[in-house]
């Protein structure tokens, strides 16, 4: 009986809540007044003004105010509302019509999601990256997440990475509108961002060659800009590349020599690979490195005459191998012939 009563009471309160949910126009009574604001205890002023058309141009133009602000179910409403939970609609199997993507699952496992769920107030939740009322498709011109604006959006929290990136070759060309250079998420991912020391991270030491290689080994991307695709192959065949392929975290990957956010062409004096800076760059791991190290080319393509002595040594060994093999095959054929003749005779 008690159960039945509480069940009825529950149903009544639910239906009351549904009936009581105020229509959107009601919000405008207060929130559409320009200058509507509140003052925090510390004197800071927070604007509570929400222009009536603020959702109109967003992807959520068909959503009602309290579909997101779900705890506003009476007017006047109480202060201290909850943060909007975007994952109330953005999950696989949702009935709201939001795209079916495993974003929450990815985000939850990422460095940001883990930190936010553990209570780190500085870690971004969905709206910190996407915005609140003016959420756009990420590639839209006004989205803070489009390729060009994204670095500044991440840079609100990652100031040093942003500062370096903005003056790198990639960052400078990105701000000029070059469509082929990377933005933060091309190297880090979006909802899957990880610490560089996590093996799953796209910038984990042994995965960096693959991450840079997405573009630097692709003729249709970097070659258009006069940058050779040889660098990735020559790296893979180098001491460092072979050691990295076998899982060495000590050998140099692309970022050990080029940097990650401050990458510059070899001709730029500030570049880590500018000849005068080579001893310092290599010296991190090879204390014996001196100015002479600048003489050896790093990305050596042994099948190119520019490689000098290495080309001739490689060519010598190539022809030595070929002639040895040819000699061996001739020897076998002659031997077989001799045996056959012998058999026929006997």
Tell which positions 49-78 bind ligand HEC, by CB under 6 A: 50, 55, 59-60, 63, 65-69, 72, 75-77
Q: Per CB under 6 A, does 207 bind ligand HEC?
A: no
> Which window, 8-16, 99-107, 312-320, 333-341, contacts ligand HEC (CB under 6 A)?
99-107
| Positive or negative: CA dihedral 320, 322, 323, 325 | positive
Q: Per CB under 6 A, does 174 bind ligand HEC?
A: no
Rounded distance between C-alpha atoms, residue 286 and residue 55, angstroms = 58
Could you say which of 43, 99, 119, 177 contacts ligand HEC (CB under 6 A)?
99
Q: Which positions from 11 through 30 interact with ligand HEC, judged by CB under 6 A?
A: 22, 24, 26-27, 29-30
Return the residue matching tokens 């899957």: 192
Rounded distance between C-alpha atoms, residue 280 and residue 290, angstroms = 8
Nearer residue to ligand HEC within complex by CB, 3 or 83 = 83
* Minimum CB distance to ligand HEC, residue 122 (Å): 4
Could you say which of 105, 140, 149, 169 contacts ligand HEC (CB under 6 A)?
169
> Which window, 10-18, 153-161, 306-314, 322-330, contacts ligand HEC (CB under 6 A)?
153-161
Nearer residue to ligand HEC within complex by CB, 10 or 223 = 223
Token pair for residue 31?
A: 């929130």
Could you say which of 10, 142, 265, 327 contacts ligand HEC (CB under 6 A)?
265
All residues at 6 or more sequence positions from 285 whose CB lies less than 8 Å from its CB, including other chains: 250, 252, 256
Q: Per CB under 6 A, does 237 bind ligand HEC?
A: no
For residue 235, count CB atoms less than 10 angstroms from its CB and return exposed for 0-12, middle for 13-18, buried for 19 or more.
buried
Rounded distance between C-alpha atoms, residue 220 and residue 229, angstroms = 10
Q: Per CB under 6 A, does 262 bind ligand HEC?
A: no
Could you say which of 4, 83, 119, 292 contacts ligand HEC (CB under 6 A)?
83
Q: Per CB under 6 A, does 307 bind ligand HEC?
A: no
Nearest partner of 65 among 32, 19, 94, judged by Cα: 32
Nearest partner of 302 among 294, 292, 313, 286, judged by Cα: 313
Rounded distance between C-alpha atoms, residue 263 and residue 278, angstroms = 14
């Amino acid at each position: 009986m008690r159960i039945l009563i509480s069940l009825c009471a529950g149903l009544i309160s639910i239906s009351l809540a549904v009936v009581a949910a105020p229509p959107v126009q009601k919000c405008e009574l207060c929130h559409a007044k320009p200058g509507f604001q509140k003052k925090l205890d510390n004197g800071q002023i927070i604007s509570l003004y929400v222009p009536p058309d603020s959702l109109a141009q967003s992807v959520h133009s068909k959503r009602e105010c309290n579909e997101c602000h779900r705890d506003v179910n009476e007017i006047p409403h109480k202060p201290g509302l909850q943060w909007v939970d975007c994952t109330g609609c953005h999950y696989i199997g949702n009935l709201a019509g939001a795209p079916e993507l495993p974003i929450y699952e990815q985000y939850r496992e990422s460095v940001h999601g883990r930190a936010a769920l553990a209570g780190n107030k500085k870690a971004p939740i969905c709206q910190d990256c996407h915005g609140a009322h003016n959420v756009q498709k990420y590639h839209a011109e006004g989205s803070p997440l489009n390729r060009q604006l994204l670095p500044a959006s991440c840079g609100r929290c990652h100031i040093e990475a942003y500062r370096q990136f903005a003056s790198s070759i990639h960052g400078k060309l990105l701000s000029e509108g070059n469509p082929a250079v990377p933005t933060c998420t091309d190297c880090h991912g979006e909802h899957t961002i990880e610490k560089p020391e996590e093996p799953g991270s796209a910038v984990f030491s042994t995965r960096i060659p693959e991450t840079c290689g997405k573009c630097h080994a692709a003729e249709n991307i970097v070659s258009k800009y006069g940058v050779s695709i040889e660098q990735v192959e020559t790296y893979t065949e180098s001491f460092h590349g072979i050691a990295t392929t076998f899982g060495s975290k000590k050998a140099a990957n692309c970022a050990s020599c080029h940097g990650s956010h401050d990458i510059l062409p070899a001709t730029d004096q500030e570049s880590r690979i500018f000849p005068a800076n080579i001893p310092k760059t290599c010296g991190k791991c090879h204390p014996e490195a001196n100015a002479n190290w600048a003489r050896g080319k790093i990305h050596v393509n042994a099948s190119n005459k520019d490689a000098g002595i290495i080309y001739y040594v490689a060519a010598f060994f190539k022809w030595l191998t070929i002639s040895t093999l040819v000699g061996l095959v001739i020897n076998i054929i002659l031997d077989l012939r001799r045996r056959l003749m012998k058999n026929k005779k006997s």
